[in-house]
């Protein structure tokens, strides 16, 4: 029985969301469009299997196939980033969600070494450019690396924990036999059973598919286009008289300071969404407004680059955003919404 037959309400809502994604210009930096292969893995029969524990050490039987799936995902992840481990101490965290410049992880690592601290680098937003060689990597200059698997990696929604190299834990935690545990063992036990029970094997399979896609030359070309689109779009906004926070971008996103435009980030987000341009309000450095209001907006290019938009298209998007923010005529806003919906039909979702 199909979903439409079983639950037409949910089926219709899914169709409604798919239509929204097709007709809207998606500029939320933390969103992307997965391939049909990733979607297929996410919706596979692997969702039926309960597999608490790790490959080869499950609490349940019948895990011989899903063990292969999870192990393959781990191996592809290690190959993708070039790491050995995927999954009184002090901790320094290096990461950001709206920072448009390079993160120099080596400098963070030097500080961590000086003060005797662990360094955890969160690369949730910049994992894609990193594996494509377009951003400095934390591998080799951090103790732990965390990331999401969606955003610029273009996989299913989820997370990963990695270590460039394994090492004995600094706390001296030992096994019952007296052996000092490797840090990876502590990470594993902190995840399962510490915070997680049965993993989502269908999502792990989809991650493996996404990691394979990210190992391709096409993915590197895609990441280059993501950055080219962001740089060009930031320049267009600058030419239009907007202040781009930090003066530009080295990655897939940037923030606009709207204080000179007499509109808040919240109102800009709402107004743009009404015409089919989706982005988010965002605080800017030294913002004096509430984080629920903000003085800026954040713009990202990964999702629309996936759909095939190039620099000339992003220039059009920037000009549309400018026109909408300046426009006070409801009829013109309605026409813009129709124009955007028709324009987006020419950029198919990924196959």
- The string of pLDDT tens digits covering residues 119-135 is 999 999 999 999 999 99
Catalytic residue (choose from 23, 52, 181, 316): 52
Q: What CATH number has the domain bearing residue 63?
A: 3.40.640.10
3-class DSSP state for residue 157?
Answer: coil
User: Do 205 and 224 sit in the same domain of this protein?
Assistant: no
* Top-confidence residue, 305 or 47: 305
Catalytic pick from 23, 49, 78, 157?
157
In whole angstroms, what is the distance from residue 201 CA to residue 35 CA? 18
The question of whether 122 is a catalytic residue gets the answer yes
52 catalytic? Reply is yes
Tell whether 229 and 315 lie within a shared domain. Answer: yes
Which one of the listed residues 23, 49, 50, 278 is annotated catalytic?
A: 50
Q: Are 289 and 176 found together in one domain?
A: no
Angle in degrees, CA 331, 337, 343, rounded to 5: 135
Contacts of 102 (CB under 8 A, 6+ apart): 135, 136, 250, 251
Q: Among the options 26, 31, 70, 122, which is catalytic?
A: 122
Q: How confident is the model at residue 87 (pLDDT cuts 50, 70, 90)?
A: low
* Pick from 259, 265, 263, 226: nearest CA to 243: 259
- Give the end-to-end CA distance of the chain in Å, rounded to a whole number: 25
Report whether 341 contacts 277 (CB < 8 A): no
Is 106 designated active site? no
- Both tokens of 77, joined, read 């992840």
Q: How far is C-alpha 68 from the geometric centre of its chain's CA atoms?
A: 26
Segment holding 58, helix H or strand E: strand 57-58
**pLDDT tens profile 112-170:** 988 888 999 999 999 999 999 999 999 999 999 999 999 999 999 999 999 988 888 88
**Which run of H or E residues covers position 225?**
helix 217-239
End position of a domain, from candidates 214, 233, 268: 214
Q: What is the greatest pairwise CA distance in the chain?
A: 76
Residue 223 CA: distances (Å) to CA of 52, 126, 152, 190, 261: 35, 10, 8, 33, 32
Q: Does residue 70 carry a pLDDT above 60?
A: yes
Verify that 196 and 269 share a domain, yes or no: no
Q: Which of 42, 137, 146, 148 is catalytic?
A: 148
- Nearest Cα neighbor of 38 from 171, 120, 117, 149 is 149
The one catalytic residue among 151, 154, 231, 298? 151
pTM of the model as a whole: 0.87
Nearest to 38 by CA among 143, 179, 170, 154: 154
For residue 176, what are the domain limits? Answer: 37-214
**C-alpha–C-alpha distance, residues 120 and 163, integer Å:** 9
Q: Are residues 265 and 176 in the same domain?
A: no
Catalytic residue list contains 109:
no
Please check whether residue 155 is in contact with residue 97, taking contact to mean a CB–CB distance below 8 angstroms: no
Verify whether residue 306 is a known catalytic residue.
no
Last residue of a domain, one of 153, 184, 214: 214
Q: Is 221 a catalytic residue?
A: no
């Amino acid at each position: 029985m199909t979903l439409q037959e079983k639950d037409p309400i949910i089926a219709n809502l899914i169709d409604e969301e798919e239509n929204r994604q097709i007709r809207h210009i998606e500029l939320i930096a933390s969103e992307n469009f997965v391939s049909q292969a990733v979607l297929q893995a996410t919706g596979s029969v692997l969702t039926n299997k309960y597999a608490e524990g790790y490959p080869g050490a499950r609490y349940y039987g019948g895990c011989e196939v899903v063990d292969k799936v999870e192990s393959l995902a781990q191996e592809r992840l290690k190959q993708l980033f070039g790491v050995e481990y995927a999954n009184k101490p002090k901790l320094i965290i290096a990461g950001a969600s709206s920072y448009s410049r390079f993160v120099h992880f080596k400098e963070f690592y030097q500080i961590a070494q000086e003060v005797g601290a662990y360094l955890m680098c969160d690369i949730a937003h910049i994992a894609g450019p990193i594996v494509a060689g377009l951003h400095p990597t934390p591998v080799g200059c951090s103790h732990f690396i965390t990331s999401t698997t969606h955003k610029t990696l273009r996989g299913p929604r989820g997370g990963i924990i990695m270590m460039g190299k394994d090492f004995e834990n600094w706390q001296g935690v030992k096994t019952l036999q007296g052996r000092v545990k490797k840090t990876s063992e502590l990470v594993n036990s902190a995840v399962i059973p510490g915070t997680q029970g049965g993993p989502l094997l269908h999502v792990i399979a989809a991650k493996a598919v996404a990691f394979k896609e990210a190992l391709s030359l096409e993915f590197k070309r895609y990441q280059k286009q993501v950055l080219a689109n962001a740089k060009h779009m930031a320049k267009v906004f600058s030419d239009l008289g907007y202040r781009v926070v930090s003066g530009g971008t080295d990655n897939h996103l940037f923030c606009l300071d709207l204080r000179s435009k007499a509109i808040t980030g919240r109102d800009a987000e709402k107004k743009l969404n009404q015409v089919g341009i989706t982005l988010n309000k965002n605080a800017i450095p030294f913002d004096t407004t509430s984080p629920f209001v903000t003085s800026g907006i954040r713009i990202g290019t990964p999702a629309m680059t996936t759909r095939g938009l190039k620099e000339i298209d992003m220039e059009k998007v920037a000009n549309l955003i400018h026109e909408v923010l300046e426009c006070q005529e409801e009829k013109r806003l309605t026409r813009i919404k129709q124009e955007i919906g028709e324009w987006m039909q020419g950029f198919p979702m990924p196959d």
